[in-house]
């Protein structure tokens, strides 16, 4: 082969090399594009599910309040009305006393519903006192023992406090319903720029992997609400199994959230 032909060969080789580079760029970028699309689709799906869960959670809460108002308070007040009708005719002190008891019972129920809707204690005494009161209520039931070590918890703004309270409430509900735990502990640790809450129990719990799986599944409204509430204050949650029959959820709340 003469040198002139070798040069031609080199020119062709150079062209082929450039085509190879172009081909590589196209393939690589196409793969990136598909990956990006898939990621976007998953994110959109997740957002949709979270929104759905949020709406569903709200609807469930309304249903619960409506049923409590209708079945408990409504029924009590109807009975009071009936008793008062009778009392107007007979002036029997027994009927009046019964009506008063029913009215007090109704007032108590309305207070209870109101407390569940927006714990006034949270507004007046703060997150620490509210969580301690929650633990006290749980301990009174006698089925579960809850300890709180919240000395380091600082004053949080209303939104953050409410979100953390709701998340702990949901975790506690799940423990009561599903874990079969005998004891629960809640502790707080103050870091430089965040507060870390450790919620641990000795029942059957969730690992991070199981939590992620559950959150992606349709349903699991409670868990999705946890994610929603924490996202709204830029906080995060991490589930882990510490020992056999000992699970823990670690909630990190940034202090500037």
Partner 1 sequence: MSPFLICSLLSPLLPIVVGFRTRSSVLWWYCLTAFSFDITGTLLKRVFLVNHLVVGNIFLAVEFLFLSFIFKRAVFGKRSLLFFVWLAVVVAVYAFMSVRTFQTFNLTSASIFYFVYVVYVLLGFLYILRMSEVILLERSWFFWVCVAFGLYSSGDFLLFLFRNYIVEKNSDLMSKLWNYLFLTSNILKNLLLGIAIYWHVKPRHEPR
- Altogether, the residues listed in the chain come to a count of 257
Contact 164, 134 (CB under 8 A): no
Residue that the structure tokens 């620490």 belong to: 128
H or E stretch covering 69 = none
Measured from the CB atom, is 2 or 192 closer to partner 1?
2
Between helix 158-174 and helix 221-232 the angle, nearest 10°, is 160
- By CB under 8 A, tell whether 21 contacts partner 1: yes
| Cα(81)–Cα(216) distance, integer angstroms | 49
Q: What are phi and psi of 218, to 5 degrees?
A: -65, 150
Measured from the CB atom, is 38 or 157 closer to partner 1?
38
- By CB under 8 A, tell whether 242 contacts partner 1: no
Among 212, 187, 198, 193, which Cα is nearest to 247's? 198
Q: How far is the CB of 44 from partner 1 (least distance, A)?
A: 16
**Binder to partner 1 among 30, 111, 213, 217 (CB under 8 A)?**
30
- By CB under 8 A, tell whether 42 contacts partner 1: no
**Binder to partner 1 among 28, 55, 159, 210 (CB under 8 A)?**
28
Q: How far is the CB of 15 from partner 1 (least distance, A)?
A: 5
Looking from the CA of 1 toward its CB, the CA atoms found within 13 Å total 8
Number of residues that bind partner 1 (CB under 8 A): 22
**Binder to partner 1 among 1, 7, 67, 212 (CB under 8 A)?**
7
Q: What are phi and psi of 112, to 5 degrees?
A: -65, -45
Q: How far is the CB of 31 from partner 1 (least distance, A)?
A: 10
By CB under 8 A, name the binding residues for partner 1: 2-4, 7-8, 10-11, 14-15, 17-19, 21-22, 25-26, 28-30, 32-33, 36
């Amino acid at each position: 082969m003469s040198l002139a032909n070798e040069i031609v060969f080199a020119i062709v080789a150079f062209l082929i090399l450039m085509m190879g580079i172009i081909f590589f760029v196209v393939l690589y970028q196409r793969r990136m594009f598909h990956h990006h699309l898939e990621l976007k689709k998953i994110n959109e799906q997740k957002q949709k599910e979270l929104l759905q869960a949020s709406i569903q959670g709200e609807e469930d809460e309304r249903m619960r309040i409506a049923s409590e108002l209708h079945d408990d308070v409504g029924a009590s007040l109807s009975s009071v009305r009936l008793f008062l009708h009778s009392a107007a005719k007979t002036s029997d002190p027994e009927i009046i006393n019964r009506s008063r008891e029913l009215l007090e019972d109704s007032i108590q129920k309305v207070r209870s519903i109101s407390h569940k809707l927006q714990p006034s204690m949270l507004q007046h005494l703060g997150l620490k006192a509210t969580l301690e009161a929650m633990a006290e209520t749980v301990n009174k039931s006698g089925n579960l023992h809850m300890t709180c070590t919240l000395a380091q918890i600082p004053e949080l703004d209303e939104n953050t406090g409410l979100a953390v309270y709701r998340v702990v409430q949901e975790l506690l509900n799940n423990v009561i319903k599903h874990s079969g735990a005998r004891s629960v502990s809640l502790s707080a640790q103050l870091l430089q720029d965040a507060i870390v809450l450790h919620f641990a129990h000795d029942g059957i719990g969730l690992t991070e992997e199981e939590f992620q799986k559950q959150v992606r599944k349709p349903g699991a409204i409670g868990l999705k609400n946890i994610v929603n509430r924490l996202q709204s204050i830029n906080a995060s949650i991490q589930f882990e199994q510490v020992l056999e029959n000992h699970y823990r959820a670690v909630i990190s709340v940034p202090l500037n959230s």
